[in-house]
Amino acid sequence: MDYDNRTPLHVASLHGWIDIAQCLIEFGADVNAQDRWKNTPLADAEGAKKHNMIELLKSYGGLSYQELLYECSHVVSPFSPSIVLASVGLEGQNGSHYEPKPVPPPLPNKCDWEIEPSELDFTNSNIIGKGSFGEILKAFWRGTPVAVKRILPSLSDDRMVIQDFRHEVILLVKLRHPNIVQFLGAVTERKPLMLITEYLRGGDLHQHLKEKGALSPLAAINFALDISRGMAYLHNEPNVIVHRDLKPRNVLLVNSNADHLKVGDFGLSKLVKVQNSHDVYKMTGETGSYRYMAPEVFKHRKYDKKVDVFSFAMILYEMLEGEPPFSDFEPYEAAKYVAEGHRPTFRSKGFNISSLKE
């Protein structure tokens, strides 16, 4: 299970991965395992409207959260089912019986993620990075290593900083994906305000590329797949999250083996509800980092989630070439050059045909 008590079967059910779910169940996975919010794999499949997965789970005895409540109340309660269901808010509209219906996984309440500052141990802690509004430190929470983004004292009364901090917390609470840095909790009721996520031992992609240089095409593709999976999850309609600051420093390696990546730092991200895939959103210009900035952002024009695709392409370039795009230019000049229609040329210094055959 992960930090949210979610099992591999929960993840497979949410994405509709039939073969994986079948394999997990055959090897003994609990078809009615409950995560931190009491969701079963079937509840996730219903919320995501994965109809084939719903049929599979039901064939193995899978129950939704509501059905589990009903079964438990029916067995142990001295009251009639209608009274019990009414007490938990699950009674049907006609008051006579309960009809299960697909529901999205519920968001956690604040009490689920508000962290008591005294539980954080900063003994021998060290700064591992700089965020959009403060420093990031390695610490321990209940004995587990974590990354803590902490607002600097000098900014603790800055309204905009506090607003951005709360925005990032509200955003992260909603995210659960293998290629997105896992949110654990936050300190929002006392100063200093802090945001706590999982600690990834491998550092960031920027440092990795600085040490290793150009990656082999196979390694670059595997890294690119991890990034694109995370970004595809963020861009999923109708609730689209535009990262707006996708760059190597905000892509983290899970461990020192460099075999898995996660996208992080959502301080500049924006959540937008769209009616259709052709919607365009008006956002402020020059948000993010010049080196990886899309032309329309630099020009203060309307833009949508495609700006993240542009940044992704620049990261892929850097992984294959071993150096940032337009490395001879200062970041601002590079963004200006790109906005004029220029694009970096692939020299493929790390290219080796045998590595692709492998």
Catalytic site residue from 44, 204, 245, 265:
245
Q: How many H-runs (helices) and E-runs (strands) does the chain carry?
A: 14, 9
For strands 144-151 and 134-141, give the pairing.
antiparallel
Whether omega before 81 lies within 30 degrees of 0, making that bond cis, reads no
**β-sheet bridge partners, residue 98:** none
Task: Return the closest-CA partner of residue 315 out of 215, 218, 234, 241.
Answer: 215
245 among known catalytic residues: yes
Q: Please state, in angstroms and rounded to a whole number, the distance separating the CA atoms of residues 35 and 176.
A: 12
Cβ neighbours around 88 below 10 Å, total = 11
CB 66, CB 100: distance < 8 Å = yes
Cα separation, 252 vs 31, in Å, equals: 32
Flag whether 247 is marked binding. Answer: no
274's tokens: 């769209």
Catalytically annotated residues: 245
- Per the annotation, binding residues for ATP are 149
